Structure 1
């Protein structure tokens, strides 16, 4: 189990009141976010009924009058294959209390936690059995688009470009946001054309995504988790494994078509003629080549779909990116190549 952001320090901090909790249960990873309120009245002796009552009062707020909460968002992730670790975390932190109750049901009857992703359906019975809670399922595409629209409109410096190791924030005009292409890179990749609030359609995608990188990488390098594999790729040199234009043209460019000698002609292409076995290659070089292959593919398909629909903006999201400089740079190069 791996905590992100401030969640890793939760056990060392004074106990605060958990008032909101939501899950995204994907094919490879479970992403969890919860909100802790802190104030002078926070104490360690909240019982379940008291916390539930206060949480329900928050959910009942309507109209223009909304509570202003002081606190902090915490994030955590778990491998979906290790979902029991997630359940134990929820139990130990009493995070299930961050759910809400159905207004027509007794407090002791039905407790719900907001959840999205395919795992919200697949593991619904397991959550009920282990934690005594029901998962209130939300459509993952609607959650993705609604969240993206909100962040792009409301959060300063939410969007940025990244090329040649240079990060540049983009100023978003809420009146000139739509349409855009949203590329969400999870286990697989979904490409969504967003035309406005609540107006979107999935127009394309690819099965070669983060799950491909993780799965193939695990088979080829023996890395045990996603971050270990990604860190390994940072140390590698894909040119040891990939066949470049220069390898075909004797070290020169293919200038007629604007292909430099360092352009990848064939991912893993050198493995054909090197007369080597997998053990003869360094795992960091293999993982670097794999990352380049998948990122280039995503970037190219994204660009072609933007061209197809006449879209001037592409926003990339998903755990595959998550601030990883080399991944972002590779995708940007793939888009700008064309």
Structure 2
């Protein structure tokens, strides 16, 4: 048996091969210790190395073949395979085979839901059939739920991806609706149903889903699902998924389905903003972010104007003039061109106009013009005395308060948020040497036809990068996380 003495080693050269021979101390049953050398076996060692090298060659060759064939199958449509059997179509079939047909992304403001219709009756489980039939029969759900029918993606052979959204604060109503549809469905009641989910709510609402609707949430990494769902749709719909805006606001398609699209920056604009560098389908990392996002815009406008919906706020912003509220370079330097390379209409201070235009003691207030309304005979009649006088937007009222129209406040808040998002994205793009900046997230959903947020972001990215970077927008900007969760396999999102 080995004794308590340490093991000694020394170098020895045999047949030109450097080896180490171990000197081990053993204690005999009689208690006498003796040193026994384990002589090296150079020929056996060489044979072992040769066998190892052969095995390594086989393994390496197999890995290369697997990589080439795997890349060939996922990057292109194999010859003889119908067009509908694209990688996304095959992954949807695989998801259906394991009973997955729902993908959910629960954000701080909005929840996004993906529902897969396999297309054939024999591919639908009872729960899948119940949900698909209910979803396709309605356009609206409760107070805030809506199916974006124009964004549905057909995968061929009758398979369709349906996209829905609702306000996260309405989650109790959504769970009640889910329970009413599934509680009598065969194979669901008692056994429950698993939903692949991402976003902060995948953990926050897990208990409520189990209690209220017998649904189990399987949580997946938020940014991994975002990247996975984005790349899947860029490849599945290369003709119209991504686009840039021209100088006149017209759409210009961008095909990002191939490997040449990498690397790119993704700015995911939700309540806050995460900025992700994507170098390949399976290589990405979060590189920056900002807390100034859609939540900032909604909160400021709600507190200042009292508006309560994004649609109202963005509609008002489209009619507003931010220079009535923002302090511009021209307000400070006049209309002189080229001051520090800045145009007169560049913003010097967001919401800074009240400071520069403030009245000092002895100053006269802006003259007020009484509101007038036209009578039936066409004559101008004085409005009711209770109607406040109309004051030019961007000036002080006689009571000392700065007056601005609701539309101008909305536009100023929108410009402030989009400029901050664009600046953070440009800095990341420059730092990592990236030209393409993709914008995703539900904050942009109202501008899918080329609205104010997209126009401002497009201008800002081009101006602040010196034309070196391009803003690219996405058709289904808010749904990539939900799709990535649906395509998840096991505990990680499929890349």
User: Which TM bucket (shorter chain)?
Assistant: 0.7 to 0.9
**2:110 aligned residue (15, 18, 29):** 29
Report whether the alignment pairs 1:230 with 2:353: no
Q: Provide the aligned C-alpha RMSD in A.
A: 3.1
Q: Matches of 2:456 and 2:350 in 1, distance apart?
A: 14
TM-score by length of 1: 0.79
Structure 1, 301-310 or 78-87: larger mean CA deviation: 78-87
Change (3 A) 1:42 1:206: closer
Change (3 A) 1:48 1:328: closer
Equivalent residue, structure 1, for 2:199: 117
Larger Rg: 2
Shift of 1:108: 3.8
Shift of 1:147: 1.1
TM-score by length of 2: 0.55
Written as runs of structure 1 = structure 2, the 5 A alignment for 1:28-67 is: 28-36=109-117
Change (3 A) 1:244 1:96: farther
Change (3 A) 1:298 1:50: closer
CA contact (8 A) 2:117 2:128 kept: no
Q: Matches of 2:414 and 2:184 in 1, distance apart?
A: 37
CA contact (8 A) 2:327 2:356 kept: no
Shift of 1:75: 2.3
Shift of 1:95: 10
Q: Matches of 2:192 and 2:257 in 1, distance apart?
A: 42
Written as runs of structure 1 = structure 2, the 5 A alignment for 1:35-184 is: 35-36=116-117, 70-94=158-182, 108-156=190-238, 157-164=240-247, 165-172=249-256, 174-184=258-268
Structure 1, 212-221 or 34-43: larger mean CA deviation: 34-43
Shift of 1:273: 3.1
Q: Matches of 1:97 and 1:206 in 2, distance apart?
A: 44
Give the secondary-structure state (helix, strand or coil) at the position aligned to 2:101: strand
Shift of 1:259: 1.3
Question: Where do 5+ consecutive residues of structure 2 fail to align?
Answer: 1-98, 132-154, 359-395, 465-495
Report whether the alignment pairs 1:281 with 2:404: yes
Equivalent residue, structure 2, for 1:264: 347
Q: Matches of 2:407 and 2:230 in 1, distance apart?
A: 34
Q: Deviations over 1:213-257 (max 9, x none)?
A: 11111111111122221112112111110111111112332x143
Shift of 1:173: 5.5
CA contact (8 A) 1:251 1:261 kept: yes
Q: Matches of 1:50 and 1:148 in 2, distance apart?
A: 27
Shift of 1:182: 0.9
Q: Matches of 2:408 and 2:128 in 1, distance apart?
A: 55
Question: Where do 5+ consecutive residues of structure 1 fail to align?
Answer: 1-17, 53-66, 102-106
Report whether the alignment pairs 1:328 with 2:451: no
Shift of 1:69: 5.0
Change (3 A) 1:259 1:113: same
Give the secondary-structure state (helix, strand or coil) at the position aligned to 2:342: coil
CA contact (8 A) 1:19 1:34 kept: no
Q: Matches of 2:401 and 2:410 in 1, distance apart?
A: 12
Give the secondary-structure state (helix, strand or coil) at the position aligned to 1:195: strand
Q: Matches of 1:120 and 1:87 in 2, distance apart?
A: 14
CA contact (8 A) 2:106 2:197 kept: yes
Give the secondary-structure state (helix, strand or coil) at the position aligned to 2:289: strand
**2:295 aligned residue (211, 231, 237):** 211
Q: Deviations over 1:5-44 (max 9, x none)?
A: xxxxxxxxxxxxx97222110111111121345668999x
Give the secondary-structure state (helix, strand or coil) at the position aligned to 1:271: helix
